[in-house]
Amino acid sequence: MQFIDLKTQYQKIDALIQQRINAVLEHGKFIMGPEVAELETRLEEYTGAAYCINVASGTDALLIAMMALDIKPGDEVITTPFSFISTAETIVLLGAKPVFVDIQEDTYNLDPTLLEQAITPKTKAIMPVSLYGQCADFDTINQIAESHGIPVIEDAAQSFGATYAGKKSCNLSTIGCTSFFPSKPFGAYGDGGACFTNNEELATRMKHIRVHGQDKRYHHYITGVNGRLDTIQAAILLAKMELFPEEVEARKRIGARYSQLISENTTEVGVPLIAEGNTSVYAQYTIRVKERDKLIEKLKQNDIPTAIHYPIPLHKQPAITSLQSSYSLPIAENCSDHVMSLPMYPYLEETTQDYIVESVCKALS
Ligand SMILES: *Cc1c(COP(=O)(O)O)cnc(C)c1O
């Protein structure tokens, strides 16, 4: 069994993907070819954001967003300790300091009730993560941020396609950043990412930062990076866009079915809570159990792969921790010890799902 099966998806659109790749090979514009702009238009339509800037990865999206907001050494950026390393790594790369705020135990996202007390005169951005495919509580976060005049960046690497109060993830804050890493809900066949905003000035800055801070040929008014999305990856994503809306529906259906089956059959497993007004794309289907290692081992014996997202909270990572005063983030630390993810992808068959749930329940009984 596979944790994420990308092959079934490929078989559904192989002809279209090959046609799209061949078109790129024929026109030969491998860097910033027409597919990049075409994809940006499609993603603007999909998310409702006025501007999409495709970039080389989700990590670059976060970096470019913060560079556009002029995050500098000495600045503070408030974020969650319960995420992939990129979230904190990009803050550190810019010489700024990640300030961690603990998470909500039920949604695993940044707890907005702890936000106000973390804000200082040095706070230059708030960067919540929409973890596992569910958006953080943006209405509350935006309100607090606005009252202090602080921009908000959504790390939407796992939540492209999700909605919050009827609005699409990536279009919920000052800048939204996503990833097209192959295993993400909207994945390419290599690295990729995007920044979204409704602010024209920020959009222009991000477009320039993506190409070495260049506004005119060989004129560089701002420090930038080489952060472009390959034309071939844009072409692949355009083909995959044909399937994406139905894949989002399948993800919602499978996630809800997992939760229902598990809840009906055991009380030993904490299933993900989807907050009212939210829809999740279940980038991960993540459960919480008392004795995680035992369950992982038993599932492995039944050929069921699992993963841990994430075993070490960011404030405990050696690359980050040296910068920190002593943090106590009990909820994130507790979740890191008890969460584990089950196989999840849009083409996960019901019979496979039943087998996984049965194995989980049997292992815990
Ligand atoms: C995957 C991920 C990233 C980084 O995306 P890449 O495309 O791999 O650079 C950033 N933040 C979160 C929460 C992620 O899951």
For residue 181, which atom of ligand 1 is closest to its CA? 7
Residue 27 CA to residue 254 CA, distance in Å, equals 40
Q: Which atom from ligand 1 is nearest to the alpha carbon of 283?
A: 15
Residue 91, CA atoms < 13 Å, CB-side half-sphere: 31
Q: 76 in ligand 1 pocket by Cβ < 6 Å?
A: no
> Does ligand 1 lie within 6 Å of residue 83's CB atom?
yes
What's the gap in Å between 266 CA and the centre of ligand 1? 32
pLDDT digits (tens, 9 = 90+) for 82-115: 999 999 999 999 999 999 999 999 999 999 999 9
Task: Name the DSSP letter for residue 103.
Answer: B
Q: What one-character-per-residue DSSP string does 226-252 give? A: B-PPBHHHHHHHHHHHTTHHHHHHHHH
Give, using CA atoms, the residue closest to atom 6 of ligand 1.
58
- C-alpha 114 – ligand 1 centre gap (Å): 24
Q: Does this model's pTM top 0.95? A: yes
DSSP β-ladder status, 285-288 and 339-342: antiparallel
Among residues of the chain, what percentage have pLDDT more than 90? 97
Q: Is residue 160 within 6 Å of ligand 1 at its C-beta?
A: no
Q: What is the mean pLDDT of residues 268-282?
A: 97
User: Which atom of ligand 1 is nearest the CA belonging to 130?
Assistant: 13
> What's the CA gap between 84 and 81, in Å, rounded?
9
pLDDT in tens, 143-186: 999 999 999 999 999 999 999 999 999 999 999 999 999 999 99
Q: Is the pLDDT of residue 266 over 80?
A: yes
The answer to whether the CB of 154 is under 6 A from ligand 1 is no
- Residue 249 alpha carbon to ligand 1 centre in Å: 22
Residue 325 has pLDDT above 70, yes or no: no
Summarize the confidence of residues 35-58 as an average pLDDT: 98
Which residue puts its alpha carbon closest to atom 5 of ligand 1?
58
Q: Whose CA is nearest to atom 14 of ligand 1?
A: 157
